[in-house]
Chains A and B, each alone.
Chain A
Amino acid sequence: AQRVTQPEKLLSVFKGAPVELKCNYSYSGSPELFWYVQYSRQRLQLLLRHISRESIKGFTADLNKGETSFHLKKPFAQEEDSAMYYCALRVRGGSNYKLTFGKGTLLTVNP
């Protein structure tokens, strides 16, 4: 079965510092990975998908199949980045796609 691991429950950095949120996955097939973000009192929203190789709000994430990782990085954290971040793996299960989420990392960016 597939699994997503986010080893850090909490991560606290100062504004302007680099930030890296770790995500490791376990899946026998070809993975499709995503980062979702949940700001305080808001709904879960898609931040990044590995297939797009894009930078959103200064965040990037690279899929490393050798290390089975998909870490989220930003060179200079901002206070507005404070949120809960979830790494997710999408797999095809039966007739539907399914998302398996990690437990999330709460990022706090201090002024």
Chain B
Amino acid sequence: GAVVSQHPSWVICKSGTSVKIECRSLDFQATTMFWYRQFPKQSLMLMATSNEGSKATYEQGVEKDKFLINHASLTLSTLTVTSAHPEDSSFYICSASLDRVGYEQYFGPGTRLTVT
């Protein structure tokens, strides 16, 4: 149980375009979802927390207008990287929690974004 999927697993886009990454909880309702970014050989850095039905809470230093997060249903959260640049190339990982405060997190497999 508590399976989280991400789509796509790998995406390549051109500089200046936008790309959307989906995070789904397959067998449970995720009240809270988290988005992380992982640079090569580095740690996961929390980007934002989203609660279903409300606006996402972004971590300090993360541009809200660049990384748009939508958590419209209890099983789906999306991260849209707008006007992507090569420096946005990274591994993006989501996690989902059954509870509203994110006490227990279940991780997705990640999405590798390459911006050319």
Bound pair: A and B?
yes
| Interface residue tally for chain B (C-beta within 8 Å) | 22
| Interface residue tally for chain A (C-beta within 8 Å) | 18
Looking across the interface, which residue of chain B has its beta carbon closest to that of A102?
B43
Task: Tell me the complex Cα distance, A45–B107, Å.
Answer: 7
Looking across the interface, which residue of chain B has its beta carbon closest to that of A36?
B107
The answer on a CB contact under 8 Å between B101 and A97 is: yes
The answer on a CB contact under 8 Å between A44 and B43 is: no
A103-B42, A103-B43 known; A44 and B102 CB under 8 Å?
Answer: no
- Chain A: minimal CB distance from B10 (Å): 12
A9-B41, A43-B110 known; A99 and B105 CB under 8 Å?
Answer: yes
The answer on a CB contact under 8 Å between B46 and A98 is: yes
The answer on a CB contact under 8 Å between B109 and A94 is: no
The answer on a CB contact under 8 Å between A44 and B93 is: yes
Within 8 A of A (CB), among B9-62: 32, 34, 41-46, 49, 51, 57
A43-B107, A43-B110, A44-B107 known; A97 and B102 CB under 8 Å?
Answer: yes
- Which residue of A42, A96, A102 has the most chain B CB atoms within 10 A of its CB atom? A96
B60-102 CB mask vs A (1 if < 8 Å, else 0) is 0000000000000000000000000000000001000000111
Q: Which residues of A contact B (CB under 8 A)?
A: 9, 42-45, 86, 92, 94-104
Q: Give 3 closest A-B pairs by Cβ, nearest first.
A: A44-B107, A103-B43, A43-B109
